[in-house]
Amino acid sequence: MVKHNNVIPNGHFKKHWQNYVKTWFNQPARKTRRRLARQKKAVKIFPRPTAGPLRPIVHGQTLKYNMKLRAGRGFSLEELQVSMKACVALRRSMNLVNLENEVLQTGREELAAGIPKKLAPTIGISVDHRRRNRSLEGLQTNVQRLKTYKAKLVVFPRRARKFKAGDSAPEELATATQVQGAYLPIVREKPTVELVKVTSEMKSFKAYDKLRIERTNKRHVGARLKKAAEAEKEEKK
């Protein structure tokens, strides 16, 4: 007999369970089929990388996943061919100070990938015209990703022995191999714990009192400004 207010065991077992068993006897054959399909695809798209076009580094959506990095759909137009004017506009939209000075210090060459949007898909770069850059760090990260890709890129001519502007040299073509697997992988930095010695100042610091004082200062900032303005007005009289 059961104790307390629990359910009395009264199981009704499914009688014809043999008819509903899911088997996986085709698993080894499917593994072979997938491997052969990957090999056929690699031959078909040669000399392009087997992993597909290059994709940007983006943050996950919503508060739950926005700290995680993942591959996005495509590079934005600002990342492909960003100019000094676009960087100034981006900084102004983020309310940063000394905008023009920052742009001049960074330099146009460091901020520009210089890839036309119609050329990008033809050299293995995915493009998403709807994406907008909302942070300077993300813009610089993806521009650097594009620059690294361009430095390693080998462009084959459409017709053998008929080289055009932008094609790689014959020496590079002779040594080029198809990239298998992931290339330019997204590396997620692991947080590190910094060990410090506990000083007497740390021990004497009262964090709760500090928080209460700052909270009070924030609450009374309006009244204090008003009082200071009135006092200044009285002095002028």
Q: Which two tokens stand for residue 43?
A: 């031959």
pLDDT confidence bin for 90, thresholds 50/70/90: low
47-48-51-52 Cα dihedral, nearest 10 degrees:
-160
Task: Identify the pLDDT of residue 105.
Answer: 47
Task: Compute, in degrees rounded to 10, the torsion defined by CA atoms 126, 130, 136, 140.
Answer: 10
What local confidence, expressed as pLDDT, does residue 191 receive? 84
Q: Is the pLDDT of residue 91 over 70?
A: no
Side-chain-facing half-sphere of 165: CA atoms under 13 Å: 1
**Which pTM value belongs to this model?**
0.64
pLDDT one-digit tens code per residue, 95-106: 544 434 444 445
Whose structure tokens read 């964090």?
207
Q: Domain residues of the chain, as ranges?
A: 48-175
Span 201-221, average pLDDT: 96
User: Distance (Å, rounded) from C-alpha 141 to C-alpha 111?
Assistant: 10
Tell me how far apart the alpha carbons of residues 126 and 72 are, in angstroms, rounded to a whole number.
Answer: 9
Residues in the chain: 237
Residue 208 has pLDDT above 90, yes or no: yes
Residue 137 in tokens: 């760090």
Query: CB-based burial of residue 193 (10 Å sphere; 0-12 exposed, 13-18 middle, 19+ buried)?
Result: exposed
Selection from 93, 75, 97, 74 nearest residue 85 by Cα = 93
Task: Quickly list DSSP for 102-147.
Answer: HHHHH-HHHH-----TTTGGGGTB-B-TT-----HHHHHHHHHHHH
Distance CA 121, CA 213 (A): 57
Kindly provide the b/e burial profile for residues 100-123, where b requires at least 16 CB atoms within 10 angstroms of the residue's own CB.
eeebeeeeeeebbbebeeeebeeb
Q: Which pLDDT tens digit goes with each residue over 42-84?
A: 999 988 999 999 999 999 999 999 999 999 999 999 999 864 4
pLDDT per residue as tens digits for the range 118-167: 999 999 999 999 999 999 999 999 999 999 999 988 888 877 777 777 77
Full DSSP string of 29-68: HHHHHHHHHHHHHHHHHTTS-TT-SB--EEEPSHHHHTTS
Spatial separation of the C-alpha atoms in residues 90 and 135, rounded to whole Å: 8
pLDDT score for 218: 96
Token pair 């100070």 is at which residue? Answer: 97
Cα–Cα separations (whole angstroms), residue 223 to 182, 213, 236:
59, 16, 20
User: pLDDT > 70: what percent of the chain?
Assistant: 86
